[in-house]
């Protein structure tokens, strides 16, 4: 943190830097100058923790395209198959001669780093929101000593029973809450010292993993009720927390009959379900399960239903990019459970979840914007503080303005695309809105 952060250095601690390392180091210093040392180190630490958690989940459930485990072996011991079978790994871009050189030199640390980064980059096509292309400064901060018996991945294998990872994608949310526990404690300790909660601290202060029974209670009595009132309760569904309709007055009964007649016309693919504060996606994942039982009752195959649920039924928002990434991963893994081709469909752009977060827009300036684009951007000022509380207004002529927009100083086309995704989710109507809203206390 207080070292000689000069981009022009040729060596560090007496070791000469390669041209690639020099470039990566320059990027790292530029990022530190922009965001601050602590923020960049936290970003790097979390990015790798996130990727390792996802890789462990995928290897246990057999979802890695290579079918070669990255942390364990067939006996689920901390003996990475990807290392012992390095010459058999088929990942695009691997240099087999370089692998042979590393094996001959018995440089397992460098070989393991090379293989893990290649595996993460290969997953970018099917899961682009979680496995962003690795290069530059994040590669420079790849964790060291991962093959030690007390490393973070060794503990993921040895300390968490394998069955806890099997088809329980909510483990992603549990680990995120664990990861957030220290920042959360720090935020509330600062409050006692009269240090206010900043917008950057809101996610750590407010995000809690909603317990399973509460999620089931909410979803069964909202989405489940909507379907049951029009089509009857699904016999095969395990709705432990569903409440039967209470005795009602005649006038209420008449209104309910109208609703039931309306709901009887709805098809599974027409239902829109929103969680506006989705966190790591626990509510959306259970809604997926319930929707799957609805679809299959209506004669859909599980494979086709999985894609339809992801692309047509479920919508989610969060203020925090990290939570968004986890919700995205959780939903994709839930769908992969039913459709083996899901990652390939995602790579082709045929299966993308309707999820978004408010941090992805980044900082922007409205100074150079005019007309409809300026009206749109004006509605999203401070969106990384207010999140889904924003009330968006319809803008006439917006589609035409977007077609003609190519970016200006302080606001680019990618920011506009992300803003439009948020605008779409915030502006449409839903059959069910179900959430556990974030809160910090009564005062």
* Complete DSSP assignment for 96-165: HHHHHHHHHTT-HHHHHHHHHHHHHHHTTTTSTTTSPPP-THHHHTPPS-TTSTTSHHHHHHHHS-GGGT
Contact 69, 52 (CB under 8 A): no
In angstroms, the Cα distances linking 302 to 248, 332, 411 are: 37, 14, 42
Residue 207 has pLDDT above 80, yes or no: no
Q: Mean pLDDT of all residues in the chain?
A: 90
What gap in Å lies between CA 308 and CA 269, rounded to an integer?
7
pLDDT digits (tens, 9 = 90+) for 12-29: 888 899 998 899 999 999
Which three-class secondary structure state does DSSP give residue 64? Answer: coil
* 285 vs 43, higher pLDDT: 285
What gap in Å lies between CA 31 and CA 140, rounded to an integer?
13
By the 10 Å C-beta count (0-12 exposed, 13-18 middle, 19+ buried), 300 is classed as middle
Residue 201 has pLDDT above 70, yes or no: no
Residue 443 has pLDDT above 60, yes or no: no
Secondary structure element (H or E) that encloses residue 416, with its range: helix 413-427
Residue 136, pLDDT score:
80
* 414 vs 438, higher pLDDT: 414
Residue 234, pLDDT score:
87
- Report the relative pairing of strands 11-12 and 15-16 from DSSP bridges: antiparallel
Residue 428 has pLDDT above 90, yes or no: yes
By the 10 Å C-beta count (0-12 exposed, 13-18 middle, 19+ buried), 193 is classed as exposed
Q: Which long-range contacts (CB under 8 A, 24 or more apart) does 84-91 make?
A: 86/111, 86/115, 89/115, 89/118, 90/66, 91/66, 91/115, 91/118, 91/119, 91/122
Q: Which segments of 299-436 are extended strands (E)?
A: 314-318, 354-357, 432-433
> Does pTM surpass 0.85?
yes
Q: Residue 305's CB: how many other CB atoms inside 10 A?
A: 25
Q: Which residues contact 293 (CB under 8 A, 6 or more apart)?
A: 234, 236, 237
Helix boundaries (H) for 355-404: 371-379, 383-386, 398-404
User: How sure is the predictor about 204, in pLDDT bands with cuts at 50, 70 and 90?
Assistant: low
Handedness of CA 375, 379, 381, 384 (dihedral sign): negative
What gap in Å lies between CA 130 and CA 372, rounded to an integer?
32
Q: Residue 196's CB: how many other CB atoms inside 10 A?
A: 8
Tell me the three-class secondary structure of 253-286, residue by residue: HHHHHHHHHHHCCCCHHHCCEEECCCCCCHHHHH
Q: Residue 44's CB: how many other CB atoms inside 10 A?
A: 18
Question: Residue 135: which of 152, 120, 151, 154 has the closest Cα?
Answer: 120
HSE (side-chain half, CA atoms, 13 Å) at 83: 17
pLDDT digits (tens, 9 = 90+) for 311-366: 999 999 999 888 899 899 999 999 999 999 999 999 999 999 999 999 889 888 88
Residue 46, pLDDT score:
86
DSSP-assigned letter for residue 211: P
User: How sure is the predictor about 188, in pLDDT bands with cuts at 50, 70 and 90?
Assistant: low
């Amino acid at each position: 943190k207080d070292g000689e952060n000069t981009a022009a250095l040729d060596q560090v601690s007496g070791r000469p830097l390669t041209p690639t390392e020099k470039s990566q180091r320059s990027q790292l210093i530029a990022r530190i100058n922009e965001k601050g040392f602590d923020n960049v180190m936290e970003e790097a630490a979390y990015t790798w923790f996130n990727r390792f958690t996802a890789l462990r989940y995928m290897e246990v459930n057999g979802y890695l395209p290579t079918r070669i485990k990255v942390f364990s072996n067939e006996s689920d011991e901390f003996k990475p198959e990807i290392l012992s079978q390095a010459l058999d790994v088929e990942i695009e871009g691997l240099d087999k001669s370089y692998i042979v050189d590393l094996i001959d030199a018995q440089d397992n640390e460098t070989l393991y780093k090379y293989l893990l980064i290649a595996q993460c980059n290969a997953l970018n096509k099917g899961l682009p929101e979680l496995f962003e292309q690795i290069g530059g400064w994040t590669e420079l901060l790849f964790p060291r000593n991962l093959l030690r018996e007390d490393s973070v991945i060794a503990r993921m294998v040895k300390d968490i029973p394998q069955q806890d990872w099997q088809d329980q994608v909510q483990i992603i949310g549990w680990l995120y809450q664990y990861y957030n526990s220290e920042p959360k404690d720090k935020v509330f300790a600062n409050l006692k010292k009269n240090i206010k909660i900043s917008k950057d601290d809101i996610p750590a202060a407010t995000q809690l993993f909603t317990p399973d029974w509460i999620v089931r209670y909410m979803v069964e009595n909202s989405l489940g009720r909507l379907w049951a009132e029009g089509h009857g309760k699904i016999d095969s569904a395990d709705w432990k927390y569903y409440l039967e309709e209470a005795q009602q007055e005649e006038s209420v009964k008449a209104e309910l009959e109208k609703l039931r007649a309306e709901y009887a016309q709805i098809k599974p693919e027409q239902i829109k379900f929103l969680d506006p504060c989705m966190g790591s996606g626990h509510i959306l994942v259970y809604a997926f399960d319930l929707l799957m039982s609805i679809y299959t009752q209506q004669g859909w195959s599980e494979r086709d239903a999985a894609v339809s649920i992801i692309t047509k039924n479920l919508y989610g928002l969060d203020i925090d990019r990290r939570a968004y990434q986890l919700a995205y991963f959780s939903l994709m893994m839930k769908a992969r459970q039913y459709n083996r081709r899901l990652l390939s469909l995602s790579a082709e752009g045929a299966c993308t979840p309707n999820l978004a977060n408010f941090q992805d827009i980044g900082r922007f300036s409205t100074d150079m914007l005019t007309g409809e684009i300026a009206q749109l951007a004006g509605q999203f000022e401070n969106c990384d503080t207010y999140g889904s509380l924003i009330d968006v207004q319809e803008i006439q002529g917006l589609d035409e303005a977007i077609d003609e927009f190519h970016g200006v100083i302080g606001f680019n086309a990618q920011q506009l695309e992300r803003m439009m995704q948020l605008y779409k989710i915030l502006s449409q109507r839903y059959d069910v809105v179900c959430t556990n809203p974030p809160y910090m206390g009564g005062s």
